[in-house]
Amino acid sequence: MKLDLAQRTETALDGVLVVNKPAGWTSHDVVARARVLLGVAKVGHTGTLDPAATGVLVLCLGKATRIAEYLVNADKEYRAVLRLGVATDTQDATGTVIAEAGGALPDRAAIEAVMGRFVGQHRQVPPMYSAVKIQGVPLYKSARAGRTVDRPARDFTVRSLQILSVTPTPPTLDVTFDVVCSKGTYVRTLCADIGEALGVGGHLAGLERLRAGRFCIEDALTLDDLAALAGREAVGTRLHALADVLDGVPVLTLDPRAADGVRHGVAVPAAQVIGMEGQWEAGACVRLQAADGRLLAIGKVPCGSEDLKQAAPGTVIALEKVLV
């Protein structure tokens, strides 16, 4: 007999899984499926993908949900298809056509010239069909009600943009490209803005997330893979431990007294730090670990790495997230 989530015994799965989200599933659908398959109540993700999109969705299980906020800021890499010649109200292929070029479309040289201008830091107005909240209401709910809401532009950065192919699809033109961009970039809005800059309109016709931070599509599990692993109780073989996930964050090693204090929510006296790895500025987040290497918490340091070595008496590292 198959047991539902409420009937199953929760397993001790704390870490990150990388899933290849299929088309037609919302990110929430994938989270809900993982909860049922794994019997883990605490499951979250580090960046929504639209239902039509596929690719890397990073799931945080158990205690890893506490560190999700430290993963969402990572750059993302996408493979996208920009369809030039047609604009839609949702800026993607799910929407209603609102404009068609009706004339000649640009050649590759013109496309490359315009798209090259989008590399760097820019400002972008979030699309109406998005989960951004204005006065507590998600924009997509306002859009579905036929309302357009004023929303402020946001900074975003395109690190790189590479055109892979330009394919005529009369009366449109498909441009397949790879883009590496910062958190908060809407690729469909990028496509719509490129189409507008070219004077012919455009929308996102396809999107696959290839990478989110250090997690790549090559390492991602399909939902069938995940179900098979769960059936063999072998999910742990593909689980990324918290310490590994945070391997880019500086480390402070604590003496036994401070380590015990962390378990009880006590801030760490700088004098009880017995080892340091990495460099940081004042106010940065660091990993706090025991002498045996066990990850204890995320802390926030009041001074830079060099100053901490000679910190004044009474200096403490505040606790941000306790993980034990």
- 248-322: CATH homologous superfamily? PUA domain (2.30.130.10)
Query: How far is residue 5 from each of residues 11, 33, 37, measured CA to CA in Å?
Result: 11, 10, 8
Asked if the model's pLDDT at residue 9 lies above 80, the reply is no
Q: 117 in helix, strand or coil?
A: coil
Q: What is the rounded distance in angstroms from the CA atom of residue 287 to the CA atom of residue 107?
A: 51
Question: 132 burial class (0-12, 13-18, 19+ CB within 10 angstroms)?
Answer: middle
Region of poorest pLDDT, from 2-11, 66-75, 149-158 = 2-11
Convert the pLDDT of each residue in 157-179 to its tens digit: 999 999 999 999 999 999 999 99
- What mean pLDDT, rounded, does the chain reach? 90
Query: What fold is seen in the domain 15-74+214-243?
Result: Pseudouridine synthase (3.30.2350)
Region of poorest pLDDT, from 78-92, 107-121, 149-163, 215-229 = 149-163
Active-site residue 292, yes or no? no
Local confidence band at 298 (pLDDT 50, 70, 90 cut-offs) = very high
Which of 74, 35, 263 lies closest to 159, judged by CA?
74
Local confidence band at 130 (pLDDT 50, 70, 90 cut-offs) = low
Q: What is the rounded distance in angstroms from the CA atom of residue 190 to the CA atom of residue 125?
A: 10
Convert the pLDDT of each residue in 185-242 to its tens digit: 999 999 999 999 999 999 999 999 999 999 999 999 999 999 999 999 999 999 999 9
* HSE-CB for 304 with a 13 A CA cutoff: 4
Cβ within 8 Å of residue 141, ≥6 positions away = none
Helices (H), the chain: 27-38, 108-116, 139-144, 187-198, 223-231, 242-245, 256-263, 305-308
**Catalytic site residue from 14, 50, 92, 193:** 50
Convert the pLDDT of each residue in 25-61 to its tens digit: 999 999 999 999 999 999 999 988 989 999 999 999 9
Local confidence band at 248 (pLDDT 50, 70, 90 cut-offs) = confident
Predicted pLDDT of residue 128: 67
User: Quick check: 84 and 192 in contact, CB under 8 A?
Assistant: no
Sequence spans of domains, the chain:
15-74+214-243, 76-212, 248-322
- Architecture of the domain whose range is 76-212: 2-Layer Sandwich (3.30)
**Vertex 17: Cα angle to 4 and 46 (nearest 5):** 100
Within this chain, domains 15-74+214-243 and 248-322 share the same CATH topology: no
Neighbours of 274 (CB within 10 A): 13
User: Quick check: 75 and 46 in contact, CB under 8 A?
Assistant: no
Residue whose tokens read 């060099």: 306
Which of 80, 13, 70, 10 lies closest to 49, judged by CA?
80
